[in-house]
Amino acid sequence: MHENEEFKRWEERFRVPEYVFGKKPNSFLKSCEALLPAKGKALAIADGEGRNGVWLAERGLDVVSIEFSPTAQKKAIALAKERGVTVAFEQADVHGWRYPEATFDLVADIFTQFSSPSERTTKWRGVRQTLKPGGLLILQGYTPKQLQYGTGGPKQIDQLYTRDMLKEAFGDFRDVTIIEEEVEMHEGPAHSGMSAVINLTAWK
């Protein structure tokens, strides 16, 4: 899809009063709380309406939240204010952002499945570059089986994640854990119902 069309699609999606993905953090991210660094810098990529970046800030991390939809980011700023936390919000496309080298102790890459295969390579190269040595990556996405459920995520199979794809991108990290599961999602109206997901945690 052309970049302008994609931008319009997300702007329209977020231009509703409710939080499309809810205000609570992603359940997999929340389940990783014990793995989080006690302090340090965290990057939430394509953070939408801010549910994950704000939650990470509530855990005491110094958070940068990037998102290309200004409408979504306005809601994220409001959520941070509501929760009384400070987050550095940057309006940016995850494929074009300059990922500063060895800067973040944590990168959260949660359901950012709007990339073409070449864009995904660019994004994940940026993720690898910006994590500090010893930094933690927490990633969740839908698998091709999600097309059977239709309860969220892209309809294009090349935007869905497989175990081999994640191993190829991050298999050289330490303590790589990849789990595929089918779970009931309750993340606002956009992610609701039985879903086929893949989860990854790994340290650079």
Residues 38-87 pLDDT 10s? 999 999 999 999 999 999 999 999 999 999 999 999 999 999 999 999 99
Residue 47 has what pLDDT? Answer: 98
The three-point CA angle 14-161-72 to 5° equals: 15
> Are 42 and 56 contacting, i.e. CB atoms less than 8 angstroms apart?
yes
Residue 68 has what pLDDT? Answer: 95
Number of structural domains (the chain) is 1
Domain hosting 126: range is 3-203
Report residues of the chain scoring pLDDT below 70: 1-3
Residue 138 tokens read as: 């927490």
Residue 191 has what pLDDT? Answer: 83
> Are 140 and 197 contacting, i.e. CB atoms less than 8 angstroms apart?
yes
Residue 38 tokens read as: 């006690």
Residue 3 has what pLDDT? Answer: 66
| CATH code of the domain in which 85 resides | 3.40.50.150
Q: Characterize 20-53 residue by residue with b for buried, 16 or more Cβ atoms within 10 angstroms of its Cβ, and e for exposed.
A: bbbbebbebbeebeeebbeeebbbbbbbbbbbbb
* Burial bucket for residue 59 (CB in 10 Å: 0-12, 13-18, 19+): middle
pTM: 0.96
Distance CA 119, CA 125 (A): 10
